Amino acid sequence: MSAPPGGPRPPGIPEAVLRRSLPPGARWDAVLGDLHEEYLGRVARTGALRAGLWYWREALATAGRYRLDRGSDMEHRPTGLGKERGGGAGMDLVIQNVRYAVRRMGKAPFFTLVAVLSLALGIGANTAIFSLVNAVLLQDVPLERPEELVNIHSRSPDFRWGTVSFPDYRDLEERARDVFVGVSIMELGLVQVDRDDGSVDPVLAEGVSGNYFSLAGLDPALGRLLQAEDHVEPGAHPVVVLGHQYWSTQFEGDPEVVGRSMRLSGREYTVVGVAPEAYPGTLRGLEPALYLPIYMLDLAQGQEPSYERRGNQSGFIRARLHPGVGIPQMEAALERVARELQAEYPGEWAPDKVFAYIPTADVIMYPDIDRIMVPAAGMLMVVVGLVLLIACANLASFLLARAADRRKEIAVRLAMGARRGTLVGQLLTETVLLSTLGGAGGILLSVWALRVLQGADLPLPIPITLDLSLNGTVLTFSVLVSVAAGIFFGLAPAIQGTNPAVAPTLRDESAGGGRARGGALRSALVVAQVAVSVVLLVGAGLFVRSLQASQELDPGFGNEPVAMLQLVAPAPDYSGDEAVLYFRQLAERVAALPGIETVSLVDNPHLDQLNTQFTGVVVDGVPPPEGRDFHTVDWAVAEPGYLELVGIPLVAGRDFLPSDGPDAEPVVIVSQAFADRFFPGQDALGRTFTTRQRTVRVVGVARDAKVRSLTEDPRPFLYAPLAQFPTNLAWLLAGTRGPADPHVLSLVREARDLDPSVIVYNMKTMEEHLASRLLGRELGAQVIGAFALLAMLLASIGLYGVVSYSVARRTREVGIRLSLGAETGAVVWMLTRGGMRLVALGAGIGLAVSGLLAQFLSRFLFGVPALDPVTFVGVPLLLGAVALLAAWIPAMRAARVNPVGALRAE
């Protein structure tokens, strides 16, 4: 990754090819130098991709010219080249074989194109997906003795893998010294970096304890990492370690960066070091730009220090076991500490709350996410593997057909004394050449695909950083796959084709009858291709249907265009009440902007993937769950007008009013599900209950809207007025006339105008906010759908090849039938029928297999049964139609031939 001085380097492969093609000496070094220099210029002007393509083309073309030159007119060469030719007879043979193969391929350009393109698509898909999986799952994290490291979570009925509060972390570290060498904590935050030009840049930061890096055994790439002395008291350690990627991109890998200072939320921090390159942060895919002492994180985020709040659970805990300490011993220690905490802090530690652990090495990103991600990645690998299989089947089919065509030629050459090894060598060369071309095409395709992938503007709540470059592993993988495919599928036809059972072949062929021996194998390949395509299409169909079903789900809000801006009015400059004042001033200014219709504020909009917030609720007569003193309910703090703005109607009572101020009676609006849960069969209006140590009165009941996920059952929800429950963090929502998109930036501008120190966390439109909820399903449907269509296309190409080949061999028969008065239609059907029989067989097998596999998919599906009739009927129909076309075209062409000509041709 780290670029050597002198900037980017031209692509290595063509450079190496060119270097090897040029004679040694400074004169030809200059050729490499020219291309190198021009490449750099082009990178600057047209970008690395176009420059790279240019370099490939020019380097290979130049190499080609020199190689040709070397073979022919030597007299133009000023320096002696004679000894260069001494590559030995083996090399000459290879070159001769390659030339022969190129000539043969040129004679069947269509078939060659199909074979190469099939392979390129198959290999391209595999390389791209393998790069993705490699970036997500397989990249090694340089942790020291990872087998001793465990991640510790809190577990309760609400969260299987919950995070841990800072005081709990401290207690755990102190009380479990018998099993842990040390315990470290990390909290995520978005921190505002003040740039020199006055603009600000919100970046992801990890706030870490002083032992975080040493416990993991990480070494700095530069300077030092954070240590114990950076972790003494809140607010006292303004130092920062840069993430490696952030350092390379924002500081251009400046080696002098250590000791410089940078401003975070208006305060100077000293850069003390750079994190190691291979370390992706605590959560893979979320590489932080900065690592701060955890005692600085609240300040850097403009928040009131909250380290002592046991209820604020947002720490990710990693601990290292003493050597020799076993899992049972650790489990006992965790249980002991949890019991102590339950006894000491019953408010935060209900009897059903415990510590849970998972070995660090077993975690990729986060246990709950891994549960989805790992099978999804596995499935993706299987899908592209199947696509490659279909592509290889096309190559094999192509080679079998070629071998059958050449049996006569080969038989003659064998009869005339050609060595079998030579012939096999020639056939293999052709195969390997095909697969190499396919592999090269595949690499280009995957580079393009990864570029698209990386450039894709996905509506993710946080920017995901993955290193999606093609790395050595991936390159090796795809080259191996393509060469192996070539040898594997080339060897069988080559050996079969050169089988010295000469005489019968010659006789067979001259008689013009007889099926090629490869025929049965090719038919089997088509059946397999169709079956695999059906499986992929069914999978894709199920995903698309599932996406449709979830798109039809009504979130219950957000149908109108709304621009959204998430802000933090930083403490300690702002108290909660001052923050409210600021938010209201801003709302007034925004309301005056052209195109804005309504403005309101909320701290926790529905379906926010990054924020789930609860409040404890005590309702007379409704006993809390076993072992708890209160019910936990999702809640939000909002300004008057919020519900109307997002389109959640009140079914009873009233909205908040400006008069619901800090000194008025605390009021709330509850959702329908809340009313049903806590006041069943009664009128909720006017009832009171306790939350946040206050007695609140229900003044309104709102219709239910989806809170955490689109597929959930109605979930109780509580709205409280911002004026009575002030907060420093809020979303400003502006209902717009027409699309919200163009207004988002003007909201940012207004917010900064009013106070530049305010932190902008997030900005988006309601449309984007809702889209991110469906992103997983959408991506799933699109990716699998694309691969399934690719598979069907490849299988159809294979079928087309088989049918046209068998048709070509039956030209004579067709001629006879036509001249005896057969109807064209009947002949076409006769020719098509054979192909369609293969398709029917393949589709039957495919459907049966799909029926079994669909059961495994069901956990990814929503709103469709695993054996969805639409999918299981639609797929064979679609495939049948495409296959019919693929078989019909060559049959039709054959039936149009002039019967006399066809007979004469033999």
Partner 1 sequence: MGGDGYLGEFEQMLLLAALHLGEEAYGAALGQELEARVGRRVSRGAIYVTLDRLEAKGLIRSAMSAPRAERGGRPRRIVSVTPEGVAQLQASREALVTLWDGLEVLEG
Residue 247 CB, shortest distance to partner 1, in Å, is 23
Please, what is the minimum distance in Å from the beta carbon of residue 535 to partner 1? 46
Q: How far is the CB of 76 from partner 1 (least distance, A)?
A: 5
Q: Does 51 bind partner 1 (CB under 8 A)?
A: no
Within 72-131, which residues bind partner 1 (CB under 8 A)?
Answer: 75-78
By CB under 8 A, tell whether 36 contacts partner 1: yes
Closest among 546, 702, 563, 586 to 635, alpha carbons compared = 702
DSSP for residue 595: T
19 contacts partner 1 (rule: CB under 8 A): no
- Please state the three-class secondary structure of 339-369 as a single string: HHHHHHCCCCCCCCCEEEEEEHHHCCCCHHH
Query: Should residue 33 be labelled a site residue for partner 1 when binding is judged by CB under 8 A?
Result: yes
Q: Using CA atoms, how far apart are residues 392 and 487, in angstroms rounded to an integer?
A: 11
Position of tokens 């009131």?
304
Question: What is the closest distance, in whole angstroms, from the C-beta atom of residue 12 to partner 1 in the complex?
Answer: 12
Provide, rounded to whole angstroms, the least separation between the CB of residue 253 and partner 1: 17
What is the rounded distance in angstroms from the CA atom of residue 450 to the CA atom of residue 467? 10
Question: Which of the ranges 61-69, 178-186, 341-349, 806-814 carries the binding residues for partner 1, by CB under 8 A?
Answer: 61-69
Among 66, 180, 678, 679, binds partner 1 (CB under 8 A): 66
Cβ–Cβ under 8 Å, residues 265 and 569: no
Q: Both ends of the chain: CA-CA distance in Å?
A: 62
Residue span binding partner 1 (CB under 8 A) among the ranges 26-34, 99-107, 280-288, 412-420: 26-34
- Take residue 653 and report the two structure tokens written for it: 């009572």
Which of 2, 5, 416, 623 contacts partner 1 by CB under 8 A? 5
What is the number of other CB atoms lying within 10 angstroms of the CB of residue 261? 13
If one asks whether residue 40 binds partner 1 (CB under 8 A), the answer comes out as yes
Question: Which C-beta is closer to partner 1: that of 32 or that of 369?
Answer: 32
Q: Which stretch binds partner 1 (CB under 8 A): 65-73, 199-207, 485-493, 517-525?
A: 65-73
- How far is the C-alpha of 870 from the C-alpha of 279, rounded, in Å? 47
Phi first, then psi: give them for residue 49, nearest 5 degrees.
-65, -50
Please report how close the Cβ of residue 21 comes to partner 1 at its closest, in angstroms: 10
Q: 889, exposed or middle or buried, with CB in 10 Å at 0-12, 13-18, 19+? A: middle
797 touches partner 1 (CB under 8 A): no
CA quadruple 270, 273, 278, 283: dihedral sign? negative
Q: At what angle do helices 518-551 and 869-895 cross, to 10 degrees?
A: 140
Interface residue with partner 1, options 27, 160, 260, 833 (CB under 8 A): 27
Subset of 595-614 contacting partner 1 (CB under 8 A): none
If one asks whether residue 50 binds partner 1 (CB under 8 A), the answer comes out as no
Query: Nearest distance from residue 13's CB to partner 1, in Å?
Result: 15
The least distance separating partner 1 from the CB of residue 47, rounded to whole angstroms, comes to: 18
Q: How many CB atoms lie within 10 A of CB 239?
A: 20
Residue 886 CB burial class (10 angstroms; 0-12, 13-18, ≥19): buried
62 lies in the site for partner 1, by CB under 8 A: yes
H or E segment to which residue 174 belongs? helix 166-175
* Distance between CA atoms of residues 115 and 105, nearest Å: 10
Q: Which helix (H) or strand (E) holds 733?
A: strand 729-736
> Which helix (H) or strand (E) segment is 537 a member of?
helix 518-551
User: Of the candidates 34, 362, 629, 753, which one interacts with partner 1 according to CB under 8 A?
Assistant: 34
Q: How far is CA 101 from CA 21, 461, 805, in A?
A: 21, 53, 21
178 is a site residue for partner 1 (CB under 8 A): no
Q: How far is the CB of 28 from partner 1 (least distance, A)?
A: 8
- Which positions from 500 to 529 touch partner 1 by CB under 8 A, shown as an x/- string? ------------------------------
Among the candidate windows 21-29, 169-177, 395-403, 736-744, which touches partner 1 by CB under 8 A?
Answer: 21-29
The answer to whether 37 contacts partner 1 (rule: CB under 8 A) is: yes
Least gap, CB of 23 to partner 1 (angstroms): 11
Is 758 in contact with 570 (CB distance < 8 Å)?
Answer: yes
Q: Cα separation of 129 and 478, whole Å?
A: 11
Range in contact with partner 1 (rule: CB under 8 A) among 31-39, 351-359, 755-763, 771-779? 31-39
Stretch near partner 1 under the rule CB under 8 A, chosen from 62-70, 134-142, 631-639, 861-869? 62-70
- Return the range that interacts with partner 1 (CB under 8 A); candidates 59-67, 323-331, 614-622, 702-710: 59-67
Shortest spacing between CB 277 and partner 1, in angstroms: 23
- Which range, of 58-66, 123-131, 517-525, 783-791, touches partner 1 by CB under 8 A? 58-66
681 by Cβ neighbours in 10 Å (0-12 / 13-18 / 19+) ranks as: exposed
Residue ranges in 456-501 assigned as alpha helix (H):
472-497
> How many Å is the maximal CA-CA distance in the chain?
108
65 or 85: whose CB is closer to partner 1? Answer: 65
Closer Cβ to partner 1, 47 or 627, answer by number: 47
Q: Are 183 and 333 in contact (CB under 8 A)?
A: no
Sign of the four-CA dihedral 731, 732, 736, 740:
negative
Helix (H, G, I), strand (E, B) or coil at 414: helix
Instruction: Tell me if 52 contacts partner 1 by CB under 8 A.
Output: no
Number of residues forming the site for partner 1 (CB under 8 A): 30
Judged by beta carbon, residue 50 or residue 65, the one nearer partner 1 is: 65
Q: Which is nearer to partner 1, 76 or 83 (CB)?
A: 76
Answer whether 141's CB lies under 8 Å from 278's CB.
yes
Interaction of residue 61 with partner 1, rule CB under 8 A: yes
Q: Does 70 bind partner 1 (CB under 8 A)?
A: no
Q: CB 777 → partner 1: shortest distance, Å?
A: 46
Smallest gap from Cβ 60 to partner 1, in A, equals 9
Length of the chain: 906
Q: Say if CB 884 and CB 800 are below 8 A apart.
A: no
Bond into 899 cis (ω within 30): no
Binding region for partner 1 (CB under 8 A) out of 27-35, 118-126, 157-165, 677-685: 27-35
- Is 31 a binding residue for partner 1 by CB under 8 A? The answer is yes
Q: Which C-beta is closer to partner 1: that of 66 or that of 166?
A: 66
Please give the structure tokens belonging to residue 860.
């990814």
Tell me if 38 contacts partner 1 by CB under 8 A. yes
Cα distance between residue 865 and residue 867, in whole Å: 5
Please identify, using beta-carbon distances, which residue of 56 and 213 lies nearer to partner 1.
56
Nearer to partner 1, 5 or 455 (CB): 5
Q: Which of 29, 84, 147, 158 binds partner 1 (CB under 8 A)?
A: 29
Q: How far is C-alpha 405 from the chain's CA centre?
A: 44
Shortest CB 568 distance to partner 1, Å = 46
As a whole number of angstroms, the distance between CA 520 and CA 834 comes to 12
Picking from 554, 423, 646, 584, the residue whose alpha carbon sits closest to that of residue 863 is 554
CB of residue 227 to partner 1, shortest distance in Å: 38
SS3 623: coil
Residue 58 in contact with partner 1, rule: CB under 8 A: yes
Helices and strands: H and E segment counts in the chain: 25, 22
Q: Is 6 in the site for partner 1 (CB under 8 A)?
A: yes
- The answer to whether 69 contacts partner 1 (rule: CB under 8 A) is yes
DSSP letters spanning 674-703 = HHHHHSTTS--TT-EEEETTEEEEEEEEE-
Considering the complex, state which of residue 75 and residue 552 has its C-beta at the smaller distance from partner 1.
75
Closer to partner 1 by CB, 63 or 185: give it.
63
List contacts with partner 1 (CB under 8 A).
Answer: 5-6, 9-10, 26-27, 29-38, 40-41, 58, 61-66, 69, 75-78
